[in-house]
Amino acid sequence: MQQLILGSSSPFRAELLSKLNMSFIQASPEIDETPQAGEKPAMLVKRLAEQKAIEIAKTHPDALIIGSDQVAVIDEAILGKPGNHQNAVKQLKQASGREVKFLTGLALYNAQTQNMQSLVEPFSVHFRQLTDEQIAFYLKKEQPYQCAGSFKSEGFGISLFSKLMGDDPNSLIGLPLIRLIELLRHEKIDVLQPSHP
């Protein structure tokens, strides 16, 4: 069987992938993630997911590689990682009482055959009306300064939401498993068969 590689250093994505009971390794691709001029958020995450997989293929030419990238979008503007407390406060105030759409780019690249499959999976989050005190309390507790949108949905961030809308809650954390299973099936890997790695 081909080696399966998760092209991400994220422990959360690794935890999700381990649900599928497949052996895999992680490798972190170094690519420029700067958006191109006029590039829409959906095109950005799809391109970056593909680029991450292709970058890892350079050192693993026989592997099956998963690439993934995610952005949070409000009013067609990308919410990046806040980086500090002040930016996180600003982002959460902007999201308060509103819908934030998460777009996850997913790519499965067979480095042997150079077959690339990729897609973009949307997932929407409706935020509660948040007071300044609630925002401050949340940020002090979780300090999500390296998370797009200033929250960790897999942690206490769930307390910020009034509703979640999408086909696969895993995509909110960064790896849409339902769609990944479909892509693996196209590579003749069925996670429900005992013969998979």
What residues are labeled active site?
69
Amino acid at position 163, single letter: K
Angle between helices 177-186 and 11-18 (to 10 degrees): 60
**What is the distance between the alpha carbons of residues 79 and 26, in angstroms, rounded to a whole number?**
26
Between CA 45 and CA 122 the distance in angstroms is: 11
Measure the CA–CA gap between 117 and 92, rounded to whole angstroms.
34
Q: Which two tokens stand for residue 5?
A: 């590689």
Beta carbons of 56 and 24 less than 8 angstroms apart: no
Q: Which amino acid is at 71?
A: V
Instruction: Name the residue among 100, 101, 7 with its Cα closest to residue 48.
Output: 7
66: left (phi over 0), alpha (psi -120 to 50) or beta: beta
The amino acid occupying position 70 is Q
